[in-house]
Structure 1
Amino acid sequence: MVRNYTAPSLEAPGRLFQITHVTRTHTQLWLQSDRSQSAGQYRLEVLFQWVQYVSMPFVLRGLSLRRATQEEWARLSELHQLEHDPRWSLYMLSRSHDWFVVSATPLWAEADLSYNDRSVFWGFPKDDDRLISTGTLE
């Protein structure tokens, strides 16, 4: 049975994430973590839809995904000359760096997949027993 949940943040410290896919129109962005054999960790994917702006490296160690505070949003939007649009939110990716994505609410999925398997978000059957959990931010 797949666990579906919402949470205020997604914390994945120490795991290596990289941008694995960007749609041709750059409105969707996928991050994928390494699969660690220790501690029973599965592959973790994060999907950002309706991406408006990205400020992050292609590879990052550790993920702390959360909605930006009003202060962070004000500071980063001024620094990057971003206009506020109520359709999108600014999502922080790290607690120690100003890496972020402006998009619709991100989704994530954890699955018992190898690095080269196709993405959970590309038509992966929801009843596949390799799908462990799915989630989104509150």
Structure 2
Amino acid sequence: MIRNETTAELEAPDRLFQITHVSRTHTQLWLQADANSSHQYRLEVLFQDVKYLCVPFMLRGLSLRRADPEQTRRLTDLHDLVVEPGSNVYLLSRSHDWFVVSSHPLWAEATLSYSDEPVFWSHTGNEDVVVSMGTVR
């Protein structure tokens, strides 16, 4: 059975994430951290309805959470942004101003290798592959 949960944050401080896919319209963005000797599962994060992003191609550690009103104001003022209804500012780090403006991010842990298709393309209901899924709200 796939564990499904809604979380306020997703913490993966010791994992190396990279941008692995961007949709043709640039409105979807995938971050992925592969399984390794310390972590049994691949961890992916999908941002949909992306309006803006400020993130490096690779990042060590992830601290994904919704920005509070003060953080949102500071970042939107700094980047001259207007956050539309249905979108939020999601912070990616506790030590850098990396963020994505999007709808609620989705995440999944799965028994997939680096070159396998993303969970959200091909494996969403496959209990033999997907261990857990969630939404950050």
What interval of TM-score do these two structures reach, taking the shorter chain for normalisation? over 0.9
Letter in 2 for 1:34: D
SS class of match (2:119): coil
CA contact (8 A) 2:89 2:99 kept: yes
Kindly provide the CA deviation profile for residues 57-96 of structure 1, in whole angstroms up to 9, marking residues without a partner as x. Answer: 0000000000001111000000000013122100000011
- Between the two proteins, the alignment pairs up a number of residues equal to 137
* TM-score, scaled relative to structure 2: 0.96
Contact 2:123–2:129 (CA<8 Å) still a contact in 1? no
Structure 1, unaligned runs of 5 or more: none
The aligned counterpart of 1:93 is 92
Is the alpha carbon distance of 1:55 and 1:125 closer, same or farther for their aligned partners in structure 2, counting shifts above 3 Å? closer
The residue aligned with 2:75 is 76
**Superposed displacement of residue 125, structure 1:** 4.8
Alpha-carbon separation, structure 1, partners of 2:22 and 2:28? 6
Give the ranges of 4+ consecutive aligned residues of structure 1 lying more than 6 Å apart after TM superposition. Answer: none
Q: What one-letter code is carried by the residue in structure 2 that aligns with 1:14?
A: D
Deviation, 1:122, is: 0.7
> Contact between 2:27 and 2:51, CA under 8 Å: does it hold in 1?
yes
2:101 aligned residue: 102
Give the % identical residues.
62
* CA–CA distance in structure 2, aligned partners of residues 125 and 25 of structure 1: 22
Q: Which stretches in structure 2 are left out of the alignment for 5+ residues?
A: none
Contact 2:83/2:101, CA 8 A, preserved across alignment: no
Alignment of structure 1 residues 106-125 onto 2, 5 Å? 106-125=105-124
